[in-house]
């Protein structure tokens, strides 16, 4: 069972993702990630009663309630009513410049081999990109970044690593990403940043929001160690 919801100029198909969650999927198959972010932004600002979590991904937004869902059309009306009064956030997204030491990459052989390019060329393409935080997930503070040059896209490792250092910068398919915490993972690691985007002792644990912009800056191993020491 599904019904439609109008939000931010898009039509969303709404369906139940279990007894306590609604999934909103755009009717457009090629919906830009920016539209997802805007809609999620409106939903957050609306502070709709009983919604405790808003999860966004590439094609859909999920609203998690702390109660059983009522009739679908009533839930949709309640959302539309509150959201109608919310103005889209016109303030520009945050922009982060992330220093990366590419010497600390672990998978250069695979990435060079797959791209058929030299390491310098790949680093150049990685740095010249402008990225958008598509979403966070997989592990707390993992930033999925869209905007990677297709020339340096690379499939994930066949055997994921059991441990990847915090701050690792990886390539997984046509995305690049940042591991904020040490964790297992299957992305090809091409560098490491000394800065962290996740601090569990803070509420909220991260300043980064989906839709924010990221650019990379190349640093030497010495600069990496200095920055790491300063932030410790």
Partner 1 sequence: MNGSLKVSDGGMLTTVQDAGRVGYRKYGVPVSGVMDDHAYSLANWLVGNEAGAPVLEMTLQGGGYHFNSDAIIGISGGEAEIMLNSEQEKANETLVVYAGDVLKIGSIKRGCRVYLAIRGAWDVEKIMDSYSTYLPAGFGGIQGRKLTKDDSLNWQIENLDAEIREVPKKLIPHFSSKQRIRIIEGPEWDWLSEDQKAQFLKTEFGVSSNSNRMGIRLSVKKPIILENREMKSAPVVPGMIQLPKGGKPIILMKDAQSVGGYPRIAKVVDADLWRLGQVWTSNRLGFKIISMKEAKELSVFQKDKL
Maximum distance among all Cα pairs of the chain, rounded to whole angstroms: 60
Tokens read off for 111 = 């990435």
CA-CA distance, 126 to 107, in Å (whole number)?
15
Site string for partner 1, 162-181 (x = CB under 8 A): -------------------x
Stretch touching partner 1 by CB under 8 A, among 87-95, 104-112, 200-208, 220-228: 200-208
Q: Contact between 144 and partner 1 (CB under 8 A)?
A: yes
Q: Contact between 183 and partner 1 (CB under 8 A)?
A: yes
Among the listed residues 101, 135, 189, 219, the single contact to partner 1 using CB under 8 A: 135
Among the listed residues 48, 64, 117, 215, the single contact to partner 1 using CB under 8 A: 64
CA-CA distance, 169 to 178, in Å (whole number)?
5
Burial degree of 139 (CB within 10 A; 0-12, 13-18, 19+): middle
Q: Contact between 31 and partner 1 (CB under 8 A)?
A: no
Q: Contact between 187 and partner 1 (CB under 8 A)?
A: no
* Helix (H) / strand (E) containing 167: none
186 dihedral zone (left: phi>0; alpha: psi -120 to 50; beta)? alpha
* Footprint of partner 1 (CB under 8 A): 1, 15-21, 23, 52-62, 64, 66, 68-69, 135-142, 144, 181, 183, 198, 200-201, 203-206, 209-210
């Amino acid at each position: 069972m599904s019904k439609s919801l109008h939000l931010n100029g898009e039509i969303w198909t709404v369906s139940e993702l279990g007894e306590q969650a609604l999934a909103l999927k755009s009717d457009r198959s090629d919906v830009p990630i920016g539209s997802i972010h805007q809609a999620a932004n409106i939903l957050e600002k609306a502070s709709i009663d009983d919604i405790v979590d808003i999860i966004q991904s590439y094609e859909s937004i999920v609203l998690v309630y702390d109660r059983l869902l009522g009739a679908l059309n009533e839930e949709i009306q309640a959302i539309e009513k509150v959201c109608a009064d919310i103005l889209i956030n016109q303030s520009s997204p945050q922009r982060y410049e992330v220093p990366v030491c590419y010497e600390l990459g672990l998978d250069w052989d695979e990435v060079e081999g797959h791209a058929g390019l030299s390491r310098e060329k790949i680093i150049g393409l990685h740095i010249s990109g402008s990225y958008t935080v598509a979403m966070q997930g997989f592990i707390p503070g993992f930033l999925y970044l869209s905007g990677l040059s297709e020339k340096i896209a690379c499939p994930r490792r066949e055997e994921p690593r059991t441990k990847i250092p915090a701050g690792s910068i990886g390539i997984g398919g046509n995305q690049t990403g940042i591991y904020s915490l040490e964790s297992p993972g299957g992305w090809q690691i091409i560098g490491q940043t000394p800065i962290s985007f996740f601090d569990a002792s803070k509420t909220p644990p991260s300043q980064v929001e989906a839709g924010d912009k990221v650019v990379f800056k190349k640093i030497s191993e010495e600069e990496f160690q200095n920055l790491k020491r300063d932030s410790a």
